[in-house]
Amino acid sequence: MCNFLSAVLMKNGDLIWDIATDSHSDLVSMAGLKDTELLHRPFVRVEYAPPDKRDRANIDKYTLRVDERGTLPDWCDESLQEKAAAKMRAIVSQCIVTDERAILVGGVWVLGDGAYIGRAVNARIISMHGSSHVGALCDSSRVEELLDA
């Protein structure tokens, strides 16, 4: 099972990701990529997540993990991985909520301790932590996991 935030890192440094899925297979298919010749393909699967899911609301706990079974292509060096981590940190930082908001419309969210949301409309809430609260889940909104911490 892939974790939030999953992405496909391209050889040129671009990231392919989508708020609707954390599936690397879906991302590869959506981009029309071919998953052949492991050492010569122009992409690798990456995830930006904390080691412990209870730390999802703490951006400082997140790390980049290259999610590959085989040997990495030569182009996927430490410098490229650091740049990908910075991009993914920016994405995840915008998804973490620890304040009060009247409404969340669409998007993917992690609700930290103290988050108070009046209504979530068509929102994907990855996890709720501590005393976070959602008054109403509307339309296709969903909460994937409730965590104590």
| pTM over cut 0.85 | yes
Contact assessment for residue 9 and residue 33, using Cβ atoms and an 8 Å cutoff: no
Taking 70 as the threshold, does the pLDDT of residue 1 lie above it? no
Is the pLDDT higher at 121 or at 34?
121
Tokens of residue 96, six digits: 């973490």
Please report which helix (H) or strand (E) contains residue 6, including its range: strand 6-10
Per residue in 82-134, pLDDT (tens digit) is 999 999 999 999 999 999 999 999 999 999 999 999 999 999 999 999 999 99
- For residue 20, what pLDDT is reported? 87
Q: Which residues pair with 146 in a beta bridge?
A: 128
